[in-house]
Amino acid sequence: MHQADRFVLGLALERSWAAKDAEALRSLLDGAAVRLEHPFDDAADGSVAAVADLLAGDVAIDATARHVAGATTTWRVRGHHDDGAVRPGQVAVTLDRDRVTALRLGA
C-alpha cells in the first residue's frame, strides 16, 4: 500500500469519525481486530459495531495534538465517561491495502 492510499483511508476514517457517522465507521472497521485497553476497556464490548458507536459518540479526536499517519495511524483522543470524567487516550489503526485491519483504543 502506498503512503497516499494510507492517507486517503485514514482521512476517510477521520471524516466519518468527526461526522459521528457510526454506520460509515462500522463499514470502514468491518473485519478489523479491535482491542480496548485502559481506560476504555470497560467502555464497549469490543465488537466493531460497539467500538464504531463509541467513536461516533463518546470519543473525540484531540485537535490540539499531533497525529501520525503511516502504516499505523495514531490519533490522540478524549473520551467522555458517563460520570462526566474525561479520559485521555489514543486510537491507533493499522492499514493494509484498502482496509483497516486493526484498531487499538487505550492510553
User: Mean pLDDT for the chain?
Assistant: 88
Tell me the sheet residues that pair with 39: none
Provide the residue type at 55 as one letter.
L
CATH number at residue 83: 3.10.450.50
Give the chain's domain count: 1
Split at pLDDT 50, 70, 90, the class of 28 is very high
- For residue 13, the enclosing domain spans 3-106
pLDDT digit string, tens, across residues 29-65: 999 999 999 888 887 888 999 999 999 998 999 888 8
Alpha-carbon span 90 to 64, nearest angstrom: 13
Give the pLDDT mean for 10-14: 90
